[in-house]
Amino acid sequence: MIWFCKHFLLVSLLTFFFYRGLSLVRIYGDEITNIIIMHLSRSASVAVGVTVGVTGLLFAAGVKWRHWGIRKKRKAVKEELDNLKGALDNKVKSLEDEEKEIFILTNLAFCSITRILENQKEQVKVKLTDLQAEIEKIREKLQSVESEITECERRNDIDRKGELLKEKQRLLNELWRPERKKAQLERQQLTINRPLQDAEEEDSMRMMTERIFELKNDIQQLKEQLEKKKKEGEGLQKQLSCLKLIIIFAAGSTALIIITFRQNVVQFLK
């Protein structure tokens, strides 16, 4: 907004002086020409006109050179802007590829974990079935031994009863091991749905997450640079427009002054 006001004021002043100069030339052109020709020779008068024209042309050339410099800079800014757009597109594509890869890896990890859980469930189920069969077999033997002990007590067979008591104790000790194993498997069965994480997959996911974070930062920086270059290009375009107006005013003013001066000189010499 400040830049626009400043250059608008400059153009307004140039326009005012331009039309003011034309008015003075139209009103006092003859008097000025007569004074110059009366005090100067013909060649000197021509030299004055040439000097005025050359000065105006030099001014216009200087402004034109500045105009060319701004155009060159604007072209460089446009090239940088195109390069930034290309880099931004590449970063966005890389980010999309990384996100797709993470999606695929996540699905693979989920499938692997599901498969592992199913295998573990099946293994635990088979082990529990085998242990239950073993426990039932030992319990049947215990029931048989207890029945024989009862029969020995009824017959008062002390020796046989002693042997059966030892057999019962052995079976109880044998039963304790599969029952303890069964309890462990049942606890494992309760916690088997707990998520399983593989260390290598965790490292891969962590590295890919960091990569995505870096890509997002790069994209944000490129967007900021792109916005900055756009503003710079807009500023240069405004300067070019202003310089074009200055060139037009300067060239027009110089041409009109030279033409008016030449006409007055020719009329006076006649």
**pLDDT tens digits, one per residue of 176-217:** 888 888 888 888 777 765 554 444 445 455 655 666 677 677
Rounded CA Rg of the chain: 51
From the list 252, 241, 247, the residue with the least C-alpha distance to 19 is: 252
- pLDDT attached to residue 58: 63
DSSP 181-243: HHHHHHHHHHHTTSPP--HHHHHHHHHHHHHHHHHHHHHHHHHHHHHHHHHHHHHHHHHHHHH
Q: Which residues of the chain fall below pLDDT 50?
A: 1, 3-4, 11, 19, 22, 25, 28, 35-45, 48, 196-201, 203, 268
Name residue 128's amino acid.
L
- pLDDT attached to residue 17: 53
**CB neighbour burial string for 11-24, b if at least 16 within 10 angstroms, e if fewer:** eeebeeebeeebee
Determine the Cα–Cα distance for residues 164 and 142; give it in Å rounded to an integer. Answer: 10
Determine the Cα–Cα distance for residues 15 and 57; give it in Å rounded to an integer. Answer: 18
- pLDDT attached to residue 45: 46
- pLDDT attached to residue 199: 40
